[in-house]
């Protein structure tokens, strides 16, 4: 039992340092389970997502893909006093480095606000 708790403590101290984001002038390098490089011009929005009392940052890309950052996060058991500062830093880098050619893409309408059309099933979410 002691060995189990020792391993759990070790993993708890090592794994969070592997998650996060590296900000470069050309892209956001996301360190989740796999490393991804997302060019600033491809990011359409940065939002805070709250799930079960834990807030995390989500990057929404032009191709429709959303990437949730594993760090920084803040929640009941792991409160990050600097979460808002880190969010502001990421947003500032995005606004500064997304380039003059960046244009917002209008998001698809939410399925509950979309009027039904004859060729579309009104009970299916948008593509």
> What is the tens place of the pLDDT at every residue in 84-116?
999 999 999 999 998 887 777 766 566 555 555
Average pLDDT, the chain: 79
> What is the tens place of the pLDDT at every residue in 10-25?
555 555 456 788 999 9
pLDDT above 90 as % of the chain: 28
pLDDT of residue 62: 86
pLDDT higher than threshold 70 for residue 71: yes
Domain extent, residue 80, equals: 17-96
Number of domains in the chain: 1
Please indicate, yes or no, if residue 46 is contained in any of the structural domains: yes
pLDDT of residue 24: 92
Please indicate, yes or no, if residue 108 is contained in any of the structural domains: no
Average pLDDT over residues 1-10: 69
Please indicate, yes or no, if residue 9 is contained in any of the structural domains: no
CB neighbourhood size of 16 (10 A): 13
The band of 2, judged by pLDDT with boundaries at 50, 70 and 90, is confident
Please indicate, yes or no, if residue 80 is contained in any of the structural domains: yes
pLDDT higher than threshold 90 for residue 37: yes
pLDDT of residue 40: 93
The band of 78, judged by pLDDT with boundaries at 50, 70 and 90, is confident
CATH of the domain at 75: 2.30.29.30
């Amino acid at each position: 039992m002691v060995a189990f708790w020792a391993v759990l403590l070790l993993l708890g101290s090592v794994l969070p340092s592997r998650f996060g984001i590296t900000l470069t002038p050309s892209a956001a390098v996301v360190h989740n389970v796999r490393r991804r490089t997302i060019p600033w011009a491809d990011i359409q929005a940065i939002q805070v997502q709250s799930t079960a009392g834990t807030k995390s940052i989500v990057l929404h890309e032009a191709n429709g893909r959303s990437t949730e950052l594993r760090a920084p996060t803040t929640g009941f058991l792991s409160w990050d006093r600097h979460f808002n500062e880190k969010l502001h830093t990421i947003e500032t880098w995005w606004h500064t480095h997304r380039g003059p050619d960046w244009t917002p893409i209008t998001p698809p309408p939410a399925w509950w606000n979309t009027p039904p059309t004859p060729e579309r099933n009104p009970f299916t979410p948008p593509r």
